[in-house]
Structures are given as structure tokens and as C-alpha cells.
Amino acid sequence: MPRNLDLAALRSFVTVADVGGVTKAAGYLNLTQSAVSMQIKRLEESLGMQLFLRAARKLALSPEGEQLVSYGRRMLALNDEVLSRFTTAACCGPIRLGVPHDVVYPAIPGILRRMAQAYPMVQVNLVSSFTILMKEGFARGEFDVMLTTEETPDPGAEVLGARALVWVGAPEGSAWQRRPLRLGFKDTCIFRPRAQAALEAAGIGWDLATGGESEQAVEATVAADLAVTARMAGSIPDGTAVITGDNQLPPLGEMKLALYRAPRPKGEAPDEAVELLLSELRCAYGS
């Protein structure tokens, strides 16, 4: 007799693999942690294989799990597309999402993929820029959902948590030891005045190695060990590293991650799609 996979259990398995843990997956699926764990156990028993390697409290996909997750994503995407196309309340329309460029990775690509799987007819249009510029656009009605990094979020914002602001330079570089200290920032970077104030309070002279609005120019200059910059912990550009050492630069404190949702006019993407996006952002960026 043919057997059928349990799609609910398969969805739990794929979600755990995508978000990196049972706790976050449970929040995304609106289930308890024990329910998610039981579904994965049931799936493993039905297939007669171990899908995760459980060591040192960290979940990693087994070789069989790596194969299944690829099939699972395709099966769930097809399931969700069928439901979307053949139900009377088909979900369609755009969602305009703004995210600061320095926190796009690693979370946003996975969020966009899962949104596309859950709502194939909804287009999430991503704009990545600096918080100060996005907030101006948000005030003009250019975004439906916006994630920001800022010191003092506006009233009505949902504060998801805070991350330390860290100094960043070339791996094993020495630019951070030179004086005056050369800084790499875009003109509109919200971290720049914080970094400059910290240096001045510590009596460290500085000058600017970059200007304008090219993030690629900033990252190239820093990676070449010609300047240092500041980033939120966990969002370090490729080719750079957090500056550490006994005589490291003065601390920069932390910045808050805040979530904004604009009032939505009728005829746009449905509320349930927006709520799913908000839930994804809370799971990925919440403390």
C-alpha cells in the first residue's frame, strides 16, 4: 500500500532546519516546543532514519536530513501554491519591506524564501538602506513593514531587542592601532556619530578615509586594512572581523532593533501575510 508523508511533520522539520532550532520554529509555527519535537520524532520513525545529529545541544542535519530538507521545501511550496490558487481567499499583492543593509544577512534571505512558500502570490519587495533614510521613506508611506537599527525608536515602534555595536577592521589588521584613526563610514551611517563621539571621549584623534554613499567602498577600504568601521554584532561584512585585543578601541554601547508597521490600505496583501512576515522578523531579530 502506498504511504503518505505527514506534511505537518514535514513542515516542522523544514522550519527547524531553516531557522536553526526548535524554539524559533515553534514560535514561527505557533506550536509548543514539545509538539514540534514530537512531529520530528514521528517523521523520523515513519522514515526509519535520523534527520538531525544532536550533539553539544546544537542541531545539525544528518546526511539523510540534508536530502530530505530539499525535497521537503519543494513539497511544501507546491502544497502552499495549490491552496493559494484554489481557495477563494487567494492571497496576493505586494508587501514593501525596509531593512537596514547591515542586518540583511543572514536572516532575510530565509525569511523571503519562507514567505514565498507560504504565500506564492504575495510579492515581498525588499529595500535595503540606512535607518535614517528609510524612516523618511516610511513617513512618506513608502514601506508597509520596516526594521530599524537606532538608539531611540519612535513611539509606537516594537523594540525587538538590542545588539552590541562593535569595531570592525581587516582580519589581523593594524589600521585600528594607527593615529589618527582612519574611519570608514557612509555619510548617512547612523553609527558614525556614535563612533566619533566615543573616540573623542577617549582622546583618540580620527579622520575619515571614505565619504559619499557607497557601502562597497567602505567595506573594501576596511578589508584592505586602510580604515576601521562599526557594525552591529552578528552582522560583520565578509572580509572583515571584529577588532579585539588588550588595547582595543573604546566601547560603543548597543543599538536597538525596532519593528514598524504602517496602516495598510484595502486591496493590498492580506493581513495574514503581513502578520507572518512580522512573526518571522520577531523570531529572527528578537532577543
CATH number at residue 46: 1.10.10.10
d(CA 38, CA 248): 47
Shared domain check, 145 and 111: yes
Of 43, 70, 85, which residue sits at a domain end?
A: 85
Shared domain check, 124 and 165: yes
pLDDT at res. 54: 74
Residue-wise over 81-97: b if at least 16 C-beta within 10 A, else e? beebeeeeeebebebbb
Burial class (CB in 10 A: 0-12, 13-18, 19+), 79: middle
Which whole-number Å values give the CA distances from 271 to 30, 77, 92, 94, 268, in the listed order? 17, 20, 11, 12, 9
Verdict on whether the full-model pTM lies above 0.75: no
Before 265, cis peptide (omega within 30)? Answer: no
Before 106, cis peptide (omega within 30)? Answer: yes
Shared domain check, 67 and 125: no
8 A C-beta contact, residue 252 and residue 167? yes
Extract the residue ranges of the chain whose pLDDT is less than 50: 88
8 A C-beta contact, residue 18 and residue 68? no
pLDDT at res. 88: 45
Q: Does 158 fall in a domain?
A: yes
Instruction: Please state the φ and ψ torsions of residue 221, each to the nearest 5 degrees.
Output: -65, -40
Of 67, 85, 103, which residue sits at a domain end?
A: 85
Shared domain check, 122 and 71: no
Provide CB contacts within 8 A for 234, sequence distance 6+: 163
pLDDT at res. 249: 92
Shared domain check, 276 and 193: yes
Of 36, 67, 85, which residue sits at a domain end?
A: 85
Residue-wise over 207-241: b if at least 16 C-beta within 10 A, else e? eebbeeeebeebbbbbbebbbbbbbbeebebeebb
Assigned C-alpha cell, 235: 552582522
Shared domain check, 201 and 130: yes
Shared domain check, 193 and 170: yes
Shared domain check, 192 and 65: no
Shared domain check, 69 and 30: yes
Shared domain check, 129 and 63: no
Range(s) of the domain holding residue 106: 91-287
pLDDT at res. 56: 54
